[in-house]
């Protein structure tokens, strides 16, 4: 700021003897002004402190555009309504972040994770708080809120259906059947940073479910059925034949080096680089499937030997409570509410399994989206949670790594399954006793 026009430079000269007093008076005024400014700042800070809203910390996996959408559609309405500030941290490595925070004694108040197996381990350690009394009366299905020691410790905020194969609009049934027998026609990308390999675990889980049924699948997912059993081993070899494990080096290399979110890109080329993708419902929002107007078929129609009747692999983003504070409990109730779940599913074009959160009849949306939403809520169908997500973290991670090894070296399968059985028998692991909402 420029000097004031009425400053000393324009004042009349003063006698020499009066100058010291003028300087002293100027310094006094300056000091006084500074004190008044500091006092005002202190008063403002004090008022802000008195009016400060309570805060709740939240860790989830939404980053970038997804994070902004989550803030706009879910968090901002919560903050306005309840006058509680949400200190949000988004990370694609949320499991690692949470583990470090728990070890340091500074975990978030609320967390959103994809793995009930990981949450079960935290619950057994006493890190999670019960949420039984915070959920709506309509509740969620048994495969989504699996009780542990008689209490519920998590609930789904977002759901996905996984027993799906996507294909471009205009592909005939005969073309689908033919493509399913050609490994090069499957769009497959195994890359996902620290969690690489999970697209392979989805494949093997779904094949086991569709070929052997929910009873066998649930025994395996809760650690009772050996990895070296006939049913599990055949699920691996069936996947290997379908996608060409150990076959064409260029094909295997493409699958191993491609990030899962880029796997469908070749479907837009001319001629197409691939036609089919075994992937969860969220993949339909990828640009490639939008451009080719992606459609889906239940995976059971293309998996050799499938015999399960209306059985579906599912997954979800699960909310859990680590600090039992009033702001955190308020956020839990809100995230479990129909309003919050509907807002998020509408913004993300995803799914909620809250019966109260479904859009009204005649609401906007595509036919495929409505059909999948109906399947997720169909109480005549069997919904089984993603097996690797339900397993103890050490087994989950080894499973994902083994799919990568098997894809390149299928002759290593016996050793891989033996190693997974050794891990399964490790003392002290927490296994969920139910991953399917019902079995036959």
Looking up residue 126, the CATH number of its domain turns out to be 3.40.190.10
In this prediction, residue 289 carries a pLDDT of 97
How many Cβ atoms from other residues are within 10 Å of residue 413's Cβ?
19
- Tell whether 234 and 181 lie within a shared domain: yes
- Tell whether 176 and 302 lie within a shared domain: yes
Rounded to whole angstroms, the Cα distance separating 111 from 107 reads 9
In this prediction, residue 350 carries a pLDDT of 81
Give the relative orientation of helices 198-221 and 230-243 as an angle to the nearest 10 degrees.
Answer: 160
Which residue segment(s) compose the domain that 106 sits in? 55-160+314-376
Environment class of 29 (CB within 10 Å of its CB; exposed 0-12, middle 13-18, buried 19+): exposed
- Tell whether 135 and 205 lie within a shared domain: no
- Is residue 431 a part of any domain in this protein? no
- Tell whether 396 and 411 lie within a shared domain: yes
- Tell whether 174 and 143 lie within a shared domain: no
Furthest C-alpha separation in the chain: 110
Provide the pairing of β-strand 277-278 with 154-161. Answer: unpaired
- Tell whether 364 and 405 lie within a shared domain: no
- Residue range 345-390, pLDDT digits in tens: 888 778 999 878 776 555 556 888 889 999 998 989 999 999 999 9
Question: How many domains does one find in the chain?
Answer: 2
In this prediction, residue 55 carries a pLDDT of 97
In this prediction, residue 254 carries a pLDDT of 97
- Residue range 130-177, pLDDT digits in tens: 999 999 877 787 778 888 989 999 999 999 999 999 999 999 999 999
300: DSSP letter: G
Question: CA distances (Å), 270 to each of 73, 252, 266, 274, 285, in order?
Answer: 38, 21, 9, 10, 21
Handedness of CA 173, 175, 177, 183 (dihedral sign): negative
In this prediction, residue 440 carries a pLDDT of 57
- Tell whether 411 and 284 lie within a shared domain: yes
In this prediction, residue 235 carries a pLDDT of 98
In this prediction, residue 34 carries a pLDDT of 45
In this prediction, residue 362 carries a pLDDT of 55
In this prediction, residue 387 carries a pLDDT of 97
Which parts of the chain sit beneath pLDDT 50?
1-51
- Tell whether 189 and 305 lie within a shared domain: yes
In this prediction, residue 360 carries a pLDDT of 59
Which residues face 165 on adjacent strands? 278, 297
In this prediction, residue 431 carries a pLDDT of 96
Rounded to whole angstroms, the Cα distance separating 207 from 300 reads 8
- Tell whether 74 and 135 lie within a shared domain: yes
Half-sphere exposure of 199 (CA within 13 A, CB side): 29
Rounded to whole angstroms, the Cα distance separating 161 from 73 reads 23
């Amino acid at each position: 700021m420029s000097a004031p026009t009425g400053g000393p430079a324009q004042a009349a000269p003063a006698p020499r003897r009066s100058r010291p007093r003028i300087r002293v008076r100027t310094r006094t005024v300056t000091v006084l002004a500074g004190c008044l400014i500091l006092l005002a700042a202190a008063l403002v800070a004090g008022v802000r402190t008195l009016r400060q809203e309570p805060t709740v910390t939240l860790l989830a996996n939404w980053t970038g555009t997804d994070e902004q959408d989550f803030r706009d559609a879910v968090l901002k309405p919560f903050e306005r309504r309840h006058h509680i500030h949400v200190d949000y941290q988004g990370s694609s490595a949320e499991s690692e972040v949470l583990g470090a925070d728990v070890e340091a004694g500074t975990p978030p108040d609320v967390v959103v994770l994809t793995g009930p197996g990981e949450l079960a381990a935290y619950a057994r350690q006493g890190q999670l708080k019960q949420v039984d009394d915070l959920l709506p009366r309509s509740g969620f299905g048994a495969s989504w809120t699996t009780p542990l020691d008689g209490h519920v410790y998590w609930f789904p905020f977002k759901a996905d259906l996984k027993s799906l194969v996507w294909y471009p609009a205009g592909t005939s049934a005969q073309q689908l059947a033919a493509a399913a027998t050609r490994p090069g026609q499957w769009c497959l990308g195994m890359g996902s940073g620290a969690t690489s390999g999970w697209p392979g675990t989805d494949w093997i889980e779904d094949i086991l479910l569709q070929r052997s049924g929910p009873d066998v699948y649930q025994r395996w997912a809760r650690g009772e059925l050996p990895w070296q059993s006939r049913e599990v081993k055949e699920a691996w070899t069936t996947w290997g034949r379908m996608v060409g494990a150990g076959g064409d080096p260029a094909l295997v290399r493409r699958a191993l080096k491609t990030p899962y979110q880029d796997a469908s890109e070749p479907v837009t080329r001319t001629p197409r680089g691939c036609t089919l993708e075994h992937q969860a419902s969220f993949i339909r929002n990828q640009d490639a499937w939008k451009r080719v107007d992606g459609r889906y078929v239940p995976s059971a129609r293309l998996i050799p030997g499938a015999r399960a009747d209306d059985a579906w692999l599912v997954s979800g983003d699960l909310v859990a409570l680590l600090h039992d504070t009033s702001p955190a409990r308020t956020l839990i109730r809100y995230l479990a509410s129909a309003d919050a779940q509907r807002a998020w599913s509408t913004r993300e074009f995803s799914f909620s399994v809250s019966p109260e959160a479904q859009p009204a009849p005649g609401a906007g949306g595509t036919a495929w989206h409505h059909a999948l939403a109906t399947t997720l809520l169909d109480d005549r169908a069997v919904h089984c949670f993603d097996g690797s997500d339900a397993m103890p973290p050490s087994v989950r991670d080894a499973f994902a790594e083994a799919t990568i090894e098997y894809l390149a070296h299928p002759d290593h399968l016996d050793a891989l399954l033996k190693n997974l059985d050794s891990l399964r028998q490790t003392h002290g692991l927490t296994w969920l006793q139910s991953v399917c909402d019902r079995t036959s």
